[in-house]
Amino acid sequence: MLTFGGVMVYTAWGIRELGTTLTRLHTSLVPLPSMVAEVKSDLRRLSLVAGLNDRNSLLRAVDRLQKGDQTPQRLAQRLDKMRSRLERRDGSPEAQALLAHFQRLDSEYRAMDTQLKTFFRALEDGEDITVFRRPTRRAIAKLAREVEFFGLETSRALSRTIDVFEQDEDQLAWGAIFLATVATLLGLLITFLATRMLNPLRALREGVERVADGQYDTPVMTKANDELGLLATEFNRMAEAIRRRDAKLNEQQKTLLQREQLATVGRMSAQITHELRNPLSSIGLNSELMMEELAASQQTSSVDNARDLLMSITREVDRLKEITEEYLRFARLPVPEKSLVDLNHTAAELIDFFRSEMERAGVKMRLDPDPVPKPVEVDPNQVRAALINLIRNAKEAMAHGGHIVLRIRRVGDVVYVEVTDSGGGIQVDTQERLFEPFYSTKAQGTGLGLSMVKQIVDAHDGFIRVKSSPGQGTTFRLSFPTRISAEEDDV
């Protein structure tokens, strides 16, 4: 804007200068050639009159000159006017330079004027004029030459001035074009620089808006290497820190909620189990006693029937006892008692433990041990209990037999155990609820198994992950840190 203002001021100033020159020319130099022409015609007239030979016609002509068109007085006036043009203060410098020439012309005029007056007086006085005629004519001719010369000088000065004027005009035009080009280039440069400066700012502002909307995962991209670039980097770090803290808080909140849920469930389970346990035991005990009594008495068919009924009562009571035991295990999950455990070894033991059960169910079990085993600090009983739950679930998912693989591996600071089955897999909506207490899709299920597994893993600062798609089998992975709380001290 400023540059364009400068161009405007420059152009306006130039035009004003040209205008002043033009006015000066107009008031001083321009009228001169026509004045010179008038003076010349006056002189021609005088010369003609002075050339007349006949005394009478000469007398008449002089009379006409002095009283009629008053040529001598007019000549004097015209020369006066020319001088005043040349002497004007606001006139062009060229006009002032011409003044020297005019001075010569003027003195010639005075000489001529004196001659002319003497000549006319002699004529009027009736003297012999032949002596005066020649010098008068010579004086007129001399003045005419001087006027001619002055006229030439005038037109020369005029054309010189016009040349300079044209040059000035050209200069002004080119100057204006040059300045306008410079201004345009400058404007483009400034626009370019401003855009480049504003780009990182805009990116930063968008980043701030995203963070305000809770999107922490799209960093601010900027190529700037200056303070703005630094600011963007710091801003990204801040957003990343907020994102991590957010995720951690979410996780903690979820865990807290689950823990609270589990605590309630645990208290309820303990209560119910406690209430059920004693009556169940006495029912079981009494049934067994009755069976012994019956065995001692007479063998009749109705007694046989009664014994069958009692046996089924005992079976049901046993199942109820099992369930209450599971509730109790769940409710009274103790704090882990950790020791260094080789998980390869634990898995091998479990395969032995399950051998006959799996054979009956038509399930083949296999161990894929860690080739470079490293002991982990865990509670061996709890990890065993967790794995037993996973293996039982796997078996139950394969009604017509299949495979179970136990895989142990170490990745960095984490050791994991995977239980993979070739069963029917888990539906997506079921996957979301797997770890809820009492969630079960089985007719006889308690829905406490996976909930307990999760509790155990949490108590070890570990993770549980499930990978399953319907019809493709399922893998549960338990991860245990070899260093306790390894992933917690980095935020």
Give the binding site for ligand ADP (CB under 6 A): 389, 393-394, 397, 421, 423, 426, 430, 434, 439-442, 445-447, 449-451, 474
**Element (H or E) spanning 229, and its range?**
helix 227-296
Rounded distance, CA 119 to CA 52, Å?
Answer: 13
Q: Which residues contact 16 (CB under 8 A, 6 or more apart)?
A: none
**Closest distance of CB 320 from ligand ADP, Å:** 15
**Closest distance of CB 418 from ligand ADP, Å:** 12
Please give the structure tokens belonging to residue 183.
């201004």
Name the binder of 446 from ligand ADP, Mg ion, none, CB < 5-8 A by kind: ligand ADP
**Closest distance of CB 433 from ligand ADP, Å:** 8
Name the binder of 346 from Mg ion, ligand ADP, none, CB < 5-8 A by kind: none
DSSP conformational letter for 106: H
98/426 with CB nearer Mg ion: 426
**Closest distance of CB 427 from ligand ADP, Å:** 8
Binding mask 383-402 for Mg ion (x = CB under 5 A): ----------x---------
30/390 with CB nearer Mg ion: 390
Binding mask 439-468 for Mg ion (x = CB under 5 A): ----------x-------------------
**Closest distance of CB 327 from ligand ADP, Å:** 12
**Closest distance of CB 425 from ligand ADP, Å:** 6
**Closest distance of CB 455 from ligand ADP, Å:** 11
**Site size for Mg ion, by CB under 5 A?**
2
- Nearest residue to the partner ligand ADP, using Cβ: 449
14/447 with CB nearer ligand ADP: 447
Name the binder of 423 from Mg ion, ligand ADP, none, CB < 5-8 A by kind: ligand ADP
**Closest distance of CB 446 from ligand ADP, Å:** 5
**Closest distance of CB 299 from ligand ADP, Å:** 42
**Closest distance of CB 444 from ligand ADP, Å:** 8
Name the binder of 105 from ligand ADP, Mg ion, none, CB < 5-8 A by kind: none
Rounded distance, CA 439 to CA 433, Å?
Answer: 7
18/388 with CB nearer Mg ion: 388
Rounded distance, CA 451 to CA 440, Å?
Answer: 11
- Inter-residue contact 42 to 75 (CB < 8 Å): yes
Angle between helices 343-361 and 380-396 (to 10 degrees): 30
346/389 with CB nearer Mg ion: 389
Name the binder of 394 from Mg ion, ligand ADP, none, CB < 5-8 A by kind: ligand ADP
Name the binder of 434 from Mg ion, ligand ADP, none, CB < 5-8 A by kind: ligand ADP
Backbone angles phi, psi at 16, to 5 degrees: -65, -40
3/440 with CB nearer ligand ADP: 440
11/475 with CB nearer Mg ion: 475
Q: Which residues contact 256 (CB under 8 A, 6 or more apart)?
A: none
224/434 with CB nearer ligand ADP: 434
Torsion angle, alpha carbons of 396, 402, 406, 411, to 10:
-110
Of the candidates 218, 217, 205, 221, the residue with the CA atom closest to the CA atom of residue 247:
217
Binding mask 345-384 for Mg ion (x = CB under 5 A): ----------------------------------------
Backbone angles phi, psi at 442, to 5 degrees: -100, 145
Provide the residue count of the chain: 491
Per CB under 5 A, residues contacting Mg ion are 393, 449
